[in-house]
Structure 1
């Protein structure tokens, strides 16, 4: 299979984006989102204190703006009309001054300009002017959610990359369960399983494989024993004990596309109490899966799950929504939330993960990656879901 998005698909995405700009009466646009730049150009980068952006000029040509140290990288991988760089090191002139010159040069002044953010943002100490302080325009038009909404429905190529992610997540999880034993530490188990799965992955897929993210991994992320009752626990390198409830996660990124496989497992044995809550969780996931159909609203899936929780009297044991879209990011909109009235459509890829959390006993959550089809759903993750198969 092709382990990348072909150039032709990037060109199609760019054309669609330009049509949206025209519909919104924008003469051009400035984009700073890492994910959205990758989606439109194939250029994947790590945001630091050095600003990187993309702009589409009034001639609808695509440009990348970045530090000199990224110039050759962008020319090699970026599917754009032109790459511009600034001499970030050494130098005392602020990078946004160079962007200002380019925006003026390519005719942005006194035009209607779309934007996802008015300025570059980074948690790594960046400070700089926003574009509305750099140039004078007729009007700024927010495009904040436009490219994310373009990503809602996955292409055939994207779906194949997600399926490949699922395959290697499945192997990583299989190895995680194999190596899970009482007396071993969390990091010892997860490191061994993740490395073995990654080696098999790179040997099988060969030189064409590019993760653009994480390679194959399987983790507990701290959800071990009573700590598993915290939905977003963090790794503490706990030593596993007989009878522990475990909540796992496994996946692999393939050309930036990921998946989500999570399971509730038990170390050597399971008590009646653990089994009771496991069955509640299992049934809640079944309810959610049955509710996902093209043409219905995301909120209706959450409503069905909330109805089940209320009928079984366990609403107080729940902490989060039923799931979300997934693709280039681990969490993407829309979400299975009561307030999300987006329509479910064929080609969307979602996670389904209603959870139950019982203090002192543990957390109970499966997560599966699911493709919405014309007449229902296709399960892309396929690890066993029954309790008998999940006792280590």
Structure 2
């Protein structure tokens, strides 16, 4: 069973072609790889292993998935776009595939011309992540063609979620609720951090998650100040706090939670006070989740509260960001942000501190979908939990 939705794919291809028409472009070249998966997945519901790739969407005609020979049979079986061409620049360096058909961009250009597609202006998506050699090869293969950055216009489409997209995120958040309980049960003095991660990942996989949007976070004691510490073979110690988080994906879409809990099950008064400051900041930020609000407005009450309690020097991240194919993706709603919330967006309230001299670091986080008059929690369980003081 594939991870794409055919109706969604066709709508998205239509959106790309509208951008092409508005900007007088002949095609879009959308780069992706295993780390920068979202832009490619948005059109294909797929990402290859080991190899890089791109999607070429002509203004008219069939889209083509560009990749390497290891990805080709995988893509033809599982991707929404099954017309595939293989290129050396996307392959594992120095690996040989004697029976594969491998071409370059000059040959692709000739193939397109023979089909009646002449390219004079190509829109490029992923200019901050595309490898230099890929860019050079595309430019050389389409001589005289103007390359235009349309990353912002393309990624803006991803900011506004359909009902289907919200449904996938909601399913992931349901898994997060289950994972939270399993991870909490595994936390105890003497247990390894990786045991906590394994408990959460197992229940997510069993529930249908095909991957994770980030490596599961388990950071105990001083490791919590690392912002996104992945689970290690450190044993958790009595008296420590441990920061936990997980981000399962279903059909490419992520859900998540974050929390900070005592290893021995009992908060000290200092720990409880700081976590309650975070919860009040959570409540203040949640209260700003309404259509039309921008980052400057959303972030301001929480920052003012952090300043009141002497926590400003421990801020690393803003208190809200969007979620979708990535657990944290644009738009980000920080203190200088002007992007406005709109119905259908998925936004996480993500309150954290890092670098505290005694308590090191922590996070509380859960997900909301923006509605016509406010927001709706995707995890009523965690929403209710964070809305109260400890």
TM range (shorter): 0.7 to 0.9
Q: Who is 1:254 aligned against?
A: 250
Aligned counterpart in structure 1 of residue 140 of structure 2, from 133, 146, 160: 133
Q: Who is 2:346 aligned against?
A: 349
| TM-score normalised by structure 2 residue count | 0.85
Q: Who is 1:304 aligned against?
A: 301
Q: Who is 2:69 aligned against?
A: 68
Instruction: Give the match's secondary structure for 1:183.
Output: coil
Instruction: Give the match's secondary structure for 2:287.
Output: helix
How far apart, in 1, do the equivalents of 2:316 and 2:49 lie? 32
Q: Who is 1:154 aligned against?
A: 161
Aligned-pair CA distance for 1:277: 0.7
Q: Who is 2:266 aligned against?
A: 269
Distance verdict in 2 for CA 1:144–1:253, change over 3 Å: same
1:165-184 to 2 correspondences below 5 Å:
165-184=172-191
Aligned 8 A contact 1:265 1:387 in 2 = no
Instruction: Give the match's secondary structure for 1:347.
Output: coil
Aligned-pair CA distance for 1:240: 1.6
Q: Who is 1:206 aligned against?
A: none
How far apart, in 2, do the equivalents of 1:174 and 1:92 lie? 50
Aligned-pair CA distance for 1:84: 3.0
Aligned 8 A contact 2:255 2:327 in 1 = yes
1:73-84 to 2 correspondences below 5 Å:
73-80=74-81, 82-84=83-85
2:191 corresponds to 1:190: no
- Structure with the higher strand share, 1 or 2: 2
Distance verdict in 2 for CA 1:257–1:69, change over 3 Å: same
2:207 corresponds to 1:201: yes
2:367 corresponds to 1:369: yes
Aligned-pair CA distance for 1:313: 2.9
Aligned 8 A contact 1:293 1:372 in 2 = yes
How far apart, in 2, do the equivalents of 1:110 and 1:291 lie? 46
How far apart, in 1, do the equivalents of 2:164 and 2:101 lie? 44
Instruction: Give the match's secondary structure for 1:44.
Output: coil
The two structures, once aligned, show a CA RMSD in angstroms of 3.1
How far apart, in 1, do the equivalents of 2:233 and 2:389 lie? 25
Distance verdict in 2 for CA 1:367–1:15, change over 3 Å: same
Instruction: Give the match's secondary structure for 1:32.
Output: strand
Aligned counterpart in structure 2 of residue 244 of structure 1, from 240, 247, 264: 240
1:99-142 CA-to-partner distances (Å, cap 9, x unmatched) read 4444554556562221125799469xx77833222223453221
Aligned 8 A contact 2:169 2:253 in 1 = yes
Aligned 8 A contact 2:125 2:150 in 1 = yes
Aligned-pair CA distance for 1:162: 0.5
Aligned counterpart in structure 1 of residue 322 of structure 2, from 288, 310, 325: 325
How far apart, in 2, do the equivalents of 1:371 and 1:119 lie? 28
Aligned-pair CA distance for 1:47: 5.1
Aligned 8 A contact 2:321 2:329 in 1 = yes
Instruction: Give the match's secondary structure for 1:40.
Output: helix
2:376 corresponds to 1:378: yes
Aligned 8 A contact 1:109 1:135 in 2 = no
| Alignment length (residue pairs) | 374
How far apart, in 1, do the equivalents of 2:371 and 2:251 lie? 23
How far apart, in 1, do the equivalents of 2:303 and 2:85 lie? 51
Instruction: Give the match's secondary structure for 1:253.
Output: strand
| TM-score normalised by structure 1 residue count | 0.85
How far apart, in 2, do the equivalents of 1:173 and 1:146 lie? 36
How far apart, in 1, do the equivalents of 2:134 and 2:146 lie? 24
Aligned-pair CA distance for 1:15: 1.0
Unaligned runs of 5+ in 2: 89-95
